[in-house]
A and B are shown apart, each in its own frame.
Chain A
Amino acid sequence: MSYDPPPELVVLLQAVLEGTLTQPQRAELASILASSQEAQRFFVDYLGLHATTQWQAIELFAEPDSSETSSPEPAVCLLSVEESVPPPTPKFAWAAWGLTCSLLMAFLLMVLSGSPPPEPVTVAIVASQPTPKPEEAATTFAGVMRKSDSAQWAAESPHRHTDRLLPRGIYQLHSGEVVIDLFGGGVISVLGPSEFVLNSGQSLTINRGNININIPDETANLMVNTPAADFLHMGTEFAVSVGPDGTSDVIVLDGAIEVQPRLREKLYSSGQLVRAENGFRISPDGRYETLSEDLESQLRNSFSVGSLHSLPLPVPTISPEGFEVRYVKVEPDENIALLELSLADDLLEGRFATREDVTTSGITALDFEERGDGKGSENLFPLDAHFPGDSEGPIDLDDGFAIQATATMLVSQPWIYSFLTNSDDGVRLRIDGRDVIVDDGYHRPTVSVSSIPLEKGKYTIEVTYYNLHRGARLEVGVAIGQCSEVPKFKLLSSVQDSEQ
């Protein structure tokens, strides 16, 4: 039985022959070869085949009718055909010696300049898809405006609508009151006139005005600052009023905050822990003052919008029609090993001959498993269906195949959502044509997570997956918010929670 090299060795062999082997790849190659005599044998045989084909190319690929009658190119002929250099018959010793030297020189010259053909300059194998940067998408927006009461904004403030994603930027609220849910895990109520900066979903700067901040989750990653101080929350609710000169009045309504004055070089400007029901004033020069009862009361009662709590959000779902899953198996004669997404794309776009091309509708979720148990990452969801589309029973996992799954995804609340793939081998998840996850390359089951803000509405979700051989797994999950904790993800499904 012929040796079947592991995919990582295949990639390294290609890099060797294409002259693109990097230093880390050399180390990896040495490691693979050192651990297997079979790999060593295959390695030298494979490279030997390349070198031999390179050396004998003209002879090997000559037209059959001419190869038997015409003389091959001298270099190739001389170097590859045993009878091609008949011994000369010199008449004199000195002449023979000179001829010998000439032959040797000629031979060396031919070796130096004639053959084999030089290794062509080639490019490395690279994925055709650009590296995704979903984090950039995530930072375009900072949150969602949940409520707006008679709000009048400066014209230069970023566009803002209730129940729509709110971009990062400087906001000037002339009058009225708004409530904003921030991706970083806090809800703020802003009373006009105020000027504030949404630096990101995790960072709020209050330049002036009155803002109430509720951060119920101790682990939330929201930074709040004014010209006078940074406020580090500890699961709290507090109200801040910033005057024109940057002086900040603060009252802690629940929990506690740590205050770090901006000018920490002053002796009297040390950090302070302030607990609930306490108020204080801090000026931009770092000076603390006690807040009068009147000011405390005014700050406490200035907000009228009501309780500040994040709304319970439903997780995105797939429409009742489910996924349409196209399963395409490459024709073995195509000599294609599906090692990266560009090849899967080529296969799905019909650039290779296919052995099977089957489309199945009504798939509720993407949770497919074939002999993947016990490998690499945990099997996250229990559905573990067979890959759909194979018409002859269990798929032959020794041949490469690709999956393209498309569905309509329903988002009922604008927010930032996280998507997860657990895949062996590569996978790409796109939403409305935008790369959200790109996990390219053959590998053991690997979990990838990425977050993206989505408005309320319908989206086309497209999952492209491929498997080279052996075990195969594809799981696609979703979670609310910027989430990286795998247990919080649910299977992205057309079946509602209660039915799952």
Chain B
Amino acid sequence: MDRNSDSEDIIRRITQRQRQLYSYIFSLVLNADDAQEVLQETNLTLWRKQDEIPDVANFPAWACRVAYYEVLAFRKRAARDKLVFSFDDELLARLAGEAEGSLWQDSRAAQLQACLRALSNPSRELLQLRYAASLSIDEVGRKTGRSVAAVSQALYRIRKRLLDCITRKVISEAAP
């Protein structure tokens, strides 16, 4: 494979992992803007390390480690700027370990679509307003005539159902 092909392959591999990396980083920094910033840094670092990528046996895990170090670097910057950050080193490392093995680090995200279809229409519509229409909880509440708390609670229950559904599918897939 020539250099061009290598580069294209690297771009493709990085590109394919954006969702998983974002999910991974988000669970460690707890904020969408911060997660975006760390993801960009991670992408740049991955690009700089492109020469190492062909030798990496497990690219997703390796990319997660790169993202993890970027999270640590981000945390250091945030602390220097006196910005608030969340967890201590030990807990962050444990969460990172969990996040690497979570549902969202492999192809199981595909189950999300099927589980979404299994929701009742009102539940699905609520998610649609929140995510596809990018409405705030407040806006969703106004649109549906519910209080902020009611919307928030409903979304929690729906997400919990989705998680249970995906987990069930993963377990049944793994069964012999």
Given A111-B18, A346-B150, the answer on whether A33 and B95 have CB atoms closer than 8 Å is: yes
Contact of A104 among B2, B11, B18, B149 (CB under 8 A): B11
Contact yes or no, B102 A48, CB < 8 A: yes
The residue of chain A having its C-beta at the shortest distance from the C-beta of B128 within the complex is A61
Can you list the 3 inter-chain pairs with the closest CB atoms, starting with the nearest?
A335-B157, A119-B32, A96-B4
Report 5 cross-chain contacts, Cβ distance below 8 Å, ordered by A residue.
Answer: A51-B22, A60-B131, A97-B7, A100-B11, A111-B39
Within the complex, what minimum Cβ distance (angstroms) separates A46 from chain B?
A: 6
Contact of A121 among B136, B146, B161, B164 (CB under 8 A): B136
Within the complex, what minimum Cβ distance (angstroms) separates A426 from chain B?
A: 12
Contact of A339 among B86, B149, B158 (CB under 8 A): B149
**A340 CA / B153 CA spacing, docked (Å):** 10
CB-CB under 8 A from B30, the residues of chain A are 16, 21, 47
Contact yes or no, B98 A122, CB < 8 A: no
Q: Does B148 sit within 8 A of A, measured CB to CB?
A: yes
Contact yes or no, B127 A61, CB < 8 A: yes
CB-CB under 8 A from A80, the residues of chain B are 18-19
Contact yes or no, A18 B137, CB < 8 A: yes
Most chain A beta carbons < 10 A, residue from B9, B14, B103: B103
Contact of A87 among B5, B32, B113, B146 (CB under 8 A): B5
Contact yes or no, A87 B8, CB < 8 A: yes
Contact of A336 among B11, B43, B145, B157 (CB under 8 A): B157
Given contacts A30-B88, A54-B32, A57-B131, 9 further A-B contacts (CB under 8 A): A43-B98, A51-B19, A51-B27, A58-B132, A61-B116, A87-B8, A108-B43, A125-B148, A351-B146
Contact yes or no, B113 A336, CB < 8 A: no
Contact of A61 among B12, B131, B136 (CB under 8 A): B131
Interface string of B23-59 (1 = CB under 8 A from A): 1101100111101100110011001000000000000
**A41 CA / B101 CA spacing, docked (Å):** 9
CB-CB under 8 A from B33, the residues of chain A are 118-119
Contact of A49 among B43, B112, B113, B146 (CB under 8 A): B112
Within the complex, what minimum Cβ distance (angstroms) separates B153 from chain A?
A: 5
Contact yes or no, B102 A60, CB < 8 A: no
Within the complex, what minimum Cβ distance (angstroms) separates B3 from chain A?
A: 7
Contact yes or no, A46 B163, CB < 8 A: yes
Q: Does B174 sit within 8 A of A, measured CB to CB?
A: no
The residue of chain B having its C-beta at the shortest distance from the C-beta of A88 within the complex is B8
By size class, the interface of chain A is 35 or more
**A302 CA / B109 CA spacing, docked (Å):** 90
CB-CB under 8 A from B14, the residues of chain A are 107
Within the complex, what minimum Cβ distance (angstroms) separates B18 from chain A?
A: 4
Contact yes or no, B31 A19, CB < 8 A: yes
Those of A44-67 within 8 Å (CB) of chain B: 44-58, 60-61
Within the complex, what minimum Cβ distance (angstroms) separates A337 from chain B?
A: 5
The residue of chain A having its C-beta at the shortest distance from the C-beta of B32 within the complex is A119
CB-CB under 8 A from B23, the residues of chain A are 47-48, 51-52, 55
Those of B98-119 within 8 Å (CB) of chain A: 98-99, 102-104, 109, 112-113, 116
Contact yes or no, B152 A125, CB < 8 A: yes
**A61 CA / B132 CA spacing, docked (Å):** 7
**A351 CA / B149 CA spacing, docked (Å):** 13
**A46 CA / B26 CA spacing, docked (Å):** 11
**A60 CA / B162 CA spacing, docked (Å):** 13
The residue of chain A having its C-beta at the shortest distance from the C-beta of B86 within the complex is A26
**A73 CA / B20 CA spacing, docked (Å):** 19
The residue of chain A having its C-beta at the shortest distance from the C-beta of B138 within the complex is A123
Within the complex, what minimum Cβ distance (angstroms) separates A352 from chain B?
A: 8
Contact of B27 among A10, A37, A44, A87 (CB under 8 A): A44
The residue of chain A having its C-beta at the shortest distance from the C-beta of B154 within the complex is A335
The residue of chain B having its C-beta at the shortest distance from the C-beta of A23 within the complex is B84
Interface string of A104-130 (1 = CB under 8 A from B): 100110011000111111110111100
Contact yes or no, B5 A122, CB < 8 A: no
Given A18-B152, A40-B98, A346-B146, the answer on whether A79 and B35 have CB atoms closer than 8 Å is: no
Contact yes or no, A26 B132, CB < 8 A: no
Given A18-B152, A40-B98, A51-B23, the answer on whether A343 and B147 have CB atoms closer than 8 Å is: yes
Given A44-B98, A57-B132, A111-B40, the answer on whether A116 and B32 have CB atoms closer than 8 Å is: yes
Contact yes or no, B137 A122, CB < 8 A: yes
